[in-house]
Amino acid sequence: MRILFMGTPEFAVPSLEALIAAGHTVCGVFCQPDKPVGRHQNKLQAPPVKECALSHDIPVFQPVKLRDGTALALIQSLDPQLIVVAAYGRILPQEILDHPAMGCINVHSSLLPRYRGAAPINWAILNGDKETGVTIMHMAAALDAGDIIAQVSTDIEPNETAPQLTARLSELGGRLLVETVAAMEAGKASRTPQEEDKVTLAPMLSKELSAMDFTRPAQALHDQVRGLFPWPAATASVGGIRCKIFVTRVEAGKGAPGAVLEAGKNGLLVACGEGSLRILELQPDGGKRMPAASYLLGHPLEKGTSL
């Protein structure tokens, strides 16, 4: 099938690779513009999807606007039968959605209708979900509201971080995408409207989510650490210094919420509203990421100190 692919981050690369490996003609790739990086923002970094496409000699297009007619004209010249979108990061106008004969489909990293929006993987972890997955759906004008074609589910591992889960879901998405496109070609693809009464949202992350409240259960804080890694990261004041918290473990200790139960070579154990949380890796403001035990060598804490 002649396919135009739209995607930007690493999550989308396995989907693009899977289409190529399956023998489809990827006539072009749309992705977000290169971003400035470095201390002085004077270098441009290409998105992972662009690098992948160029390695396969596939033309890459990075339109700044999609609603001025230029992108539509380009799509008309490429003449795809199908547009596949995976974490492109842009909303497609109706005129683009209407163009391909077989429509536009999206690889979404949740079990829709749960977690429509920009950060479904993070919110699945933040909310303590035990399961998530990937949905392939027809695209509609409303955000992630199109009919479902196919889904695959997977367990969320107890200590899995957002990047780790993203990597697994990206591979699952690539495999499911190829199966879905094959079913569409054969005229055997199903189409199931989403149940609107089961919709939940997954808005963009912000630093407002970072502060840890030790009156909450230890498991909820552990999920916060995993779901906000690496950005914006969960944060706590440790010895009066704001620290990003990167690795934790739930344990069974008891005490006043926020009280230090143990501080030493095994890290920092803090009492929570339910259970306790062992902080194993952190990064103080202005410093480097390090084991909590190393941080405590220069910032010792007495048992009973409150975070």
Instruction: Report pLDDT digits (tens) over 26-72.
Output: 999 999 999 988 776 778 899 999 999 999 999 999 999 999 999 99
CA atoms within 13 A on the CB side of 133: 16
Cα–Cα distance measured from residue 205 to residue 209, given in angstroms and rounded to the nearest whole number: 7
User: For residue 243, what pLDDT band results from cuts at 50, 70 and 90?
Assistant: very high
Report the alpha-carbon distance of residue 131 to residue 172 in Å, rounded: 14
Q: How confident is the model over 167-211, as pLDDT tens digits?
A: 999 999 999 999 999 999 999 999 999 999 999 999 999 999 999
Model confidence at 244: pLDDT above 80: yes
How does residue 122 score in pLDDT terms, banded at 50, 70 and 90? very high
| Strands 148-155 and 234-238, sheet pairing | unpaired
**Would you place residue 140 in the very low, low, confident or very high pLDDT band (cuts 50, 70, 90)?**
very high
Whether the per-residue pLDDT at 87 is higher than 90: the answer is yes
Structure tokens at 215: 């009156």
Taking the C-alpha atoms of residue 233 and residue 211, their distance in angstroms, rounded to an integer, is 9
Q: Where residue 270 falls among pLDDT bands split at 50, 70, 90?
A: very high
Identify the band that residue 24 occupies on the pLDDT scale cut at 50, 70 and 90: very high
Going from the N-terminus, what domains does the chain have, and what CATH number goes with each? 2-198 (3.40.50.170), 207-298 (3.10.25.10)
Longest distance between any two alpha carbons in the chain, whole Å: 69
Region 138-144: what's the mean pLDDT? 92
**DSSP one-letter code for 127:** T
Torsion of CA 112, 113, 115, 121, to 10 degrees: -10
Cβ neighbours of residue 214 under 8 Å, at least 6 residues apart?
221, 236, 257, 258, 270, 271, 272, 273, 277, 307
pLDDT at residue number 37: 82
Q: For residue 201, what are its two tokens? A: 């949202």
Q: What is the pLDDT of residue 176?
A: 98
What pLDDT does 222 receive?
98
Which pLDDT score, from 0 to 100, does residue 42 have?
Answer: 75
Predicted local confidence at residue 201, as pLDDT: 97
Q: Give residue 43's pLDDT.
A: 85
Check if the beta carbon of residue 271 is closer than 8 Å to that of residue 285.
no
- Output the pLDDT for position 238: 95
Q: What is the pLDDT at residue 264?
A: 94
List of residues 6+ apart from 282 with CB closer than 8 A: 238, 243, 244, 245, 246, 289, 290, 292, 295
Query: How high does pLDDT run on average in the chain?
Result: 96
% of the chain with per-residue pLDDT over 90? 94
